[in-house]
Structure 1
Amino acid sequence: MHLTKSISATKISSFLSNLNCYGISTKDVIKNANVNPLILSSPDNRLSGLEAQKIINSAVRLTKDNNLGLHQGEHLSKGFSNILGYVLMNCSTLNECWTKYCIYEKIIDSTSISDFKIMDNYAVLSNVTIDNELEDNRHFSEFKISGMLSYIKLLSNEALKLHEVHFSHSKPNNTSEYKRIFQCEVLFEKSTNALIFDSEQLNISVIEPNKKLLLLFEKNAQEILGGFDNNNTYSNMVTEILFDELRKGNLPSIENVAKKLLLSIRSLQLYLQKEDTSYIKLLKETRKSMAKKYLSDINISLDEITYVLGFSEMSAFHRAFKSWTGITPAQFRKSVQND
């Protein structure tokens, strides 16, 4: 059971753009990283988190720039040269842009989860890295956050006035570059990496949007997403784990499930949220499905079903099943036998 997290060659190439100002080339970085020299040869290539980590760390070593992620994000000079970029360029406002970005982000990067919401009149554009190899790489996080700011200016020709910027990593000794780039308070060791600003700025218009092109590019983006393995979702994997563990008489906690998926609890919760579900909902549906299956077999006693599904006593199972179906386990079993 494994969900492949990957990042497009296009996104890593944008991290490596303009390295000539440091006196090095992309080829130098790739060679130093000890990865396949053809790894960035096609924009359709996908890199694992480990490969991206090696390349990013190699670039930091060769440039000797301890703020390389911040600087590379700050100096982005063009948008995504792929379908996601074409979708964003044809949205009407920044509000529409980031709504679409969160939907189609997986096309360029499934190592992260981005979210977009309004809280107390502030817009929060957040991003959490969920790939094990990249989640502690501050250069990757800083590139994404400073890059978001650059993309917003590219899309709208206007600079955001930020309220706060959050990073999940610890505070570096020198924060002068953060203050220069973001021009606001920068906080560290937060739950997500995020840009926070007055929500009214979401109404900023995108330069020359085209609704017809947006519909065309969105259709293309939806087809690309459909090409991903739809069965390989976190919801399906969590359900599979729950079925397997409950069959053994174990009632796994979300912590146990997250460990099996090599994720933190927070990362798993975020992924399930993106799939419009939660651990509690999946556990309920799995127990309900198994209960119906076992009740249909008269050779399995109610005591055995109660035990297998992880209920402490028969009355607890009775209450839960009635809340799920509106009838008691005994009534359900009788109705099945009468069919």
Structure 2
Amino acid sequence: MPQTRLQNAVVPHTYVQLLYEHLAEHQIDAQQLLGEPAPQGMGRFPVLRWRDYLQRASAALDDPLLGLHLGQRITPRHLGILGYVLLACGSVAGALQRLERYHQLIYDVNPMQRVDCGDYIDLCWSAENGRPGALVDETAIAALLQFCRDITNQPGAAPLKVEFINPAPEDVQPYQQWFACPVSFGHSQTRVSISLDLLSTPLRTADPALIEVLEGQARKLLNSLEAPQGQELANIVRQRLVSQLRQGPPSAERIADTLHVSVRHLHRKLAAEGCNFRQLLQQTRQQLAEDYLADPRLQLGEVAALLGFSEQSAFSRAFKNWTQLTPAQYRHKQLDR
């Protein structure tokens, strides 16, 4: 059963594209080595083929540490739209909480589990869906730390310890040097321990290229939100919702805080304009969802994250209530036009 599940596991196309770039920088023809051109766009790539590519590249480069070297090159853009969503979370803790919900978008191999341990947390990956191998695991864990270093502008940020499920290599020193913490192997699961100090670290400004993608979508929505006469506050609330949805499920309390009014005052003023907060949230989400679904570059999980849903399944249920179609059905219908 685990091997069957592993056959269905995937990583983003952007990881594979990064490998092609890495090989090119080392004067190796990746297309000749791997037998096909680099995948395009923001699709998904089977993890077993990814493992094969990494093994072939490692041999061609004579680099047993390819996983570490490749993971160090990860930037938010390699995480696609989710990279921007994570950058909007405010702190490492917020980003990791959202990553736990949407990890399938960037590493759909084994599920990530977060364990609170008092003054630190553990991020754990078992082998319930199979073991893709050291190169795959090391690329993913190195990418996770590199992402944390990138989004905090702290190149020296380090976990408390790293434990790998795979057997130990001949030399563990390069791992300890790069992770800047104790690193060990041969455990029952892969584990990264992160201190509360690192979790509380604020994030830097988001990647401008990713921002532009989403801001373009947001501007398009805002231009379509012409408030009916007498609904000026309602339109302001819609605008605040557009920006706050990416940070997680919005609430009337958060919107009221941005307007410097009480929640009761907000509800009373909206009622005077003939609407309510829940209605505005649903309308804004639906309009954004329809716009995002018209863009085939966005995966359904990414759309759910952008709309502030805690799970893709919750987004799917809500969208079907709005339109009587699942998100996939709606997208298929739009793209067939």
TM-score in terms of structure 2 length: 0.58
1:11 CA drift (Å): 2.6
Provide the C-alpha distance between the structure 2 equivalents of 1:157 and 1:129, rounded to a whole number of angstroms.
32
Q: Do the aligned partners of 1:90 and 1:213 also contact (CA within 8 Å) in 2? A: no
Could you list the runs of 5+ residues in structure 1 that have no partner in the other structure? 32-36, 231-339
1:196 and 2:175 are equivalent in the alignment: no
Provide the C-alpha distance between the structure 1 equivalents of 2:175 and 2:96, rounded to a whole number of angstroms.
23
Q: Which amino acid aligns with 1:151?
A: F
1:217 CA drift (Å): 7.7
Provide the C-alpha distance between the structure 2 equivalents of 1:198 and 1:16, rounded to a whole number of angstroms.
34
Residue number among 179, 183, 192 corresponding to 2:180 in the alignment: 183
Helix, strand or coil: the match of 1:180? helix
1:15 CA drift (Å): 4.2
1:11 and 2:34 are equivalent in the alignment: no
- 1:165 is aligned to 162
Cα distance 1:214–1:58, how it changes in 2: closer, same or farther (>3 A)?
farther
Q: Do the aligned partners of 1:91 and 1:214 also contact (CA within 8 Å) in 2? A: no
Instruction: String of CA shifts for 1:274-323, please: whole Å, max 9, x gaps.
Output: xxxxxxxxxxxxxxxxxxxxxxxxxxxxxxxxxxxxxxxxxxxxxxxxxx
Instruction: String of CA shifts for 1:234-292, please: whole Å, max 9, x gaps.
Output: xxxxxxxxxxxxxxxxxxxxxxxxxxxxxxxxxxxxxxxxxxxxxxxxxxxxxxxxxxx
Helix, strand or coil: the match of 2:111? strand
Could you list the runs of 5+ residues in structure 2 that have no partner in the other structure? 212-239, 249-284, 290-301, 306-310, 317-337
1:110 and 2:108 are equivalent in the alignment: yes
For 1:276-287, list aligned pairs within 5 A.
none
1:75 CA drift (Å): 3.2
Cα distance 1:124–1:81, how it changes in 2: closer, same or farther (>3 A)?
closer
Cα distance 1:21–1:169, how it changes in 2: closer, same or farther (>3 A)?
same
Cα distance 1:217–1:123, how it changes in 2: closer, same or farther (>3 A)?
closer
1:139 CA drift (Å): 0.9
- 1:74 is aligned to 72
Identity score, percent: 18
Q: Do the aligned partners of 1:111 and 1:130 also contact (CA within 8 Å) in 2? A: no
1:39 CA drift (Å): 5.9
Instruction: String of CA shifts for 1:97-135, please: whole Å, max 9, x gaps.
Output: 000001111123322322223214122223345554xx1
Q: Which amino acid aligns with 2:148?
A: I
- 1:140 is aligned to 136
Helix, strand or coil: the match of 1:116? strand
Provide the C-alpha distance between the structure 1 equivalents of 2:90 and 2:304, rounded to a whole number of angstroms.
22
1:149 CA drift (Å): 1.0
Provide the C-alpha distance between the structure 2 equivalents of 1:128 and 1:79, rounded to a whole number of angstroms.
27
Instruction: String of CA shifts for 1:133-170, please: whole Å, max 9, x gaps.
Output: xx141011111111111100111112323321111111
- 1:65 is aligned to 63
Task: Let me know the Cα RMSD of the aligned residues.
Answer: 3.2
Q: Do the aligned partners of 2:121 and 2:193 also contact (CA within 8 Å) in 1? A: yes
Helix, strand or coil: the match of 2:74? coil
Helix, strand or coil: the match of 1:88? helix
Cα distance 1:165–1:87, how it changes in 2: closer, same or farther (>3 A)?
same
Cα distance 1:19–1:118, how it changes in 2: closer, same or farther (>3 A)?
same
Q: Which amino acid aligns with 1:146?
A: A
1:94 and 2:98 are equivalent in the alignment: no
Provide the C-alpha distance between the structure 1 equivalents of 2:42 and 2:48, rounded to a whole number of angstroms.
18
Q: Do the aligned partners of 2:304 and 2:312 also contact (CA within 8 Å) in 1? A: yes
Provide the C-alpha distance between the structure 2 equivalents of 1:102 and 1:183, rounded to a whole number of angstroms.
24
Q: Which amino acid aligns with 1:14?
A: L
1:26 CA drift (Å): 3.1
TM-score in terms of structure 1 length: 0.57
Q: Do the aligned partners of 1:80 and 1:86 also contact (CA within 8 Å) in 2? A: no
Provide the C-alpha distance between the structure 2 equivalents of 1:178 and 1:226, rounded to a whole number of angstroms.
35
How many residue pairs get aligned? The number is 223
Residue number among 134, 146, 149 corresponding to 1:153 in the alignment: 149
